Amino acid sequence: MKKKLIIAIDGYSSCGKSTFARAIAKELNYIFIDSGAMYRAVTLYCMNRGFIGEGKLDIPGILRELQDINIEFVYNPDIDEYETFLNSGNVEKEIRGLEVTSHVSRISQIPEVRSRMVELQRQIGIFKGIVMDGRDIGTVVFPDADLKIFMTASVEIRAKRRFDELKSKGIKVDFEEIKRNIIVRDITDENRDISPLRRANDAIILDNSRMTVAEQMEWVHRIIKNKLNGS
Ligand code: DC
């Protein structure tokens, strides 16, 4: 049987991790998991239940209902993509909005939320043949991953990419607000107590500030080929 890999892609927000990870998964016919979408879905659940809002965070409430939060990735043949479902409802568009984005860092700092997500992520990875992107995939979720990539790009470029992505989805946004949001998220992600954003020692760095997706694919293609051939 053909060797199957676990590929971990970590890095800063809006670096194009998901686009890159999705493209690799498609090429290899692997499962792609956007772990950020899972934290976003939990955040949306907490918003809907009134557990989080401006100046409000009801941790006991969240912990009480944590086991009731069910997250799935469901294939949509019309767009040939997996979409995020929260307790059987499609939330793919809603979780990308600015309100979820501005609350998600606080939710992803809660230790119990993280352990629940890591547990779900490891279950998904059990059969290998998976590309997962996030912040702690190579360090915490799959420390033995076959290939670890740590992505980075300049703040300006990342803000522009997020801006274009939201605009193309019909979501109204302000460029400066997005940029501020990215800077704040970098600081929060890097400085939180549990699973802070760190490059795993054995991760390869990919700065894609000046690279197209096609160039990134060409770069990774060679690395994967070596891994699959056992070198
Ligand atoms: O990749 P993203 O921007 O969709 O991630 C949303 C948030 O979730 C981000 O602020 C950091 C957090 N996150 C995390 O803490 N751990 C992960 N593995 C993935 C995302």
State yes or no: pLDDT of 104 exceeds 70: yes
Q: pLDDT value at position 1?
A: 61
Q: pLDDT value at position 231?
A: 60
Quick one: pLDDT band at residue 193, thresholds 50, 70, 90?
A: confident
Residue 185 near ligand 1, beta carbon < 6 Å: yes
Contact call for residues 220 and 149 (beta carbons, < 8 A): yes
Contact call for residues 147 and 224 (beta carbons, < 8 A): yes
Q: Which atom of ligand 1 is nearest to the CA of 108?
A: 15
Q: Which atom of ligand 1 is nearest to the CA of 121?
A: 18
Task: Report the predicted TM-score, pTM, of the whole model to 2 decimal places.
Answer: 0.90
Residue 10 near ligand 1, beta carbon < 6 Å: no
Residue 35 near ligand 1, beta carbon < 6 Å: yes
Q: Which atom of ligand 1 is nearest to the CA of 137?
A: 18
More confident call, 172 vs 216: 216
Contact call for residues 6 and 142 (beta carbons, < 8 A): yes
pLDDT in tens, 114-170: 999 999 999 988 888 999 999 999 999 999 999 999 999 999 999 998 899 888 988
Distance 211 CA to ligand 1 centre (A): 23
Q: Which atom of ligand 1 is nearest to the CA of 96?
A: 4
End-to-end Cα, the chain, rounded Å: 18
Taking residues 75-88, what's their average pLDDT? 92
Distance between CA atoms of residues 121 and 50, nearest Å? 26
Q: Which of 163, 132, 115, 153 is nearest to 13 (CA)?
A: 153
Residue 114 near ligand 1, beta carbon < 6 Å: no
Residue nearest to atom 4 of ligand 1 (CA): 36
Residue 9 near ligand 1, beta carbon < 6 Å: no
For the chain, list the domains and their CATH numbers. 6-219 (3.40.50.300)
Q: pLDDT value at position 185?
A: 85
Residue 104 near ligand 1, beta carbon < 6 Å: yes
Distance between CA atoms of residues 63 and 84, nearest Å? 22
